[in-house]
Amino acid sequence: SAVISQKPSRDICQRGTSLTIQCQVDSQVTMMFWYRQQPGQSLTLIATANQGSEATYESGFVIDKFPISRPNLTFSTLTVSNMSPEDSSIYLCSVPAVTEAFFGQGTRLTVV
Amino acid sequence: SQQGEEDPQALSIQEGENATMNCSYKTSINNLQWYRQNSGRGLVHLILIRSNEREKHSGRLRVTLDTSKKSSSLLITASRAADTASYFCATAPGGSEKLVFGKGTKLTVNP
């Protein structure tokens, strides 16, 4: 199993600013995923954070808006840049395992 | 894009009743997983059913899978107020480790 510590748990931010979300895993993992969950919706994959290489973004998500760092095998950050109210969502990091995925507790972001 | 479609989107029942949630998906799969999310927090894995399995049990959970119909159901028996949460099915198309989630069912169990 994997235990993921995600920070912050929630934040209220002004539009036009940026927020960096951190995820720390208690073991080394090859891949980490970042998801967005808009209000009342399901999870949508933003990108795969690869250690030692650029993140791989899903359709509709771009690096300029959601830059990702992966400096080592236990840590990753997702930045939500130049925020607008439409970015208000829960953001979750996740690591896959053989039969299940493990998730951080989520960051509830409100942009005002 | 959403792989799965869950129904119902919302379900309200009394404690002790059974809750059934359904999920449909679009592509071929190796397995299908169900997750639970409390109040918009992190997801917790409940159960995995492989494509060659038709039914699986875990405690009060019963999952079925019909690959010919590309559908799955999650049954929670003898529900409790603590079961109140959102439930999502998830698949990994093409054997990828990326999960694609259904829209989810919001379950409310009234004491």
H or E element in which residue A35 lies:
strand A31-37
Q: Does A51 touch chain B (CB under 8 A)?
A: no
| pLDDT-based confidence at residue B7 (cuts at 50, 70, 90) | confident
Maximal C-alpha separation, chain B: 42
Q: Give the residue carrying structure tokens 């933003």.
A: A46
Q: Distance from A1 to chain B by nearest Cα, in Å?
A: 11
| Residues of chain A positioned with their CB less than 8 A from the CB of B101 | 42-44
Q: Report phi then psi at B17, rounded to 5.
A: -80, 165
Give the one of B31, B88, B97 whose C-beta lies nearest to A31's C-beta.
Answer: B97
Any CB–CB contact under 8 A between A107 and chain B? no
Q: In angstroms, how far is the first alpha carbon of chain B from the final one?
A: 36
Contact list in A for residue B40 (CB cut-off 8 A) is 37, 90, 106, 108
Give the Cα separation of B87 and B37 in Å (integer): 6
Residues of A whose CB is below 8 A from B102: 42
Whether A42 and B41 lie within 8 Å, measured CB to CB: no
* Alpha-carbon gap: B13 to the closest alpha carbon of chain A (Å): 20
3-state secondary structure of B19: strand
pLDDT at residue number B2: 47
CA-nearest of A31, A11, A29 to A21 is A11
Q: Indicate the pLDDT class of residue B4, thresholds 50, 70 and 90.
A: low
Identify which of B2, B41, B48 has the shortest CB distance to residue A100: B48
What band does A97 get if pLDDT is binned at 50, 70 and 90?
confident
Question: What are the pLDDT digits (tens) for B45-103?
Answer: 999 999 999 999 999 999 999 999 999 999 999 999 999 999 999 998 877 889 999 99
Q: Are A37 and A92 in contact (CB under 8 A)?
A: yes
The values of phi and psi at residue A85, to 5°, are -55, -25
Put simply, the answer to whether A6 touches B104 (Cβ < 8 Å) is no
**pLDDT at residue B1 greater than cutoff 70:** no
Query: Which tokens in the block code for residue B52?
Result: 């060659």
- Residue A90 pairs in a beta bridge with A37, A108
Predicted confidence at residue A101, as pLDDT, reads 94
pLDDT tens sequence across A19-75: 999 999 999 999 999 999 999 999 999 999 988 889 999 999 999 999 999 999 999
From chain B, pick out residues whose CB is under 8 angstroms from the CB of A96. Answer: 97, 99
Cα separation of B84 and B35, whole Å? 13
pLDDT of res. A17: 98
The vertex-A105 CA angle with A102 and A111, nearest 5°, equals 130
* pLDDT tens per residue across span A10-19: 999 999 999 9
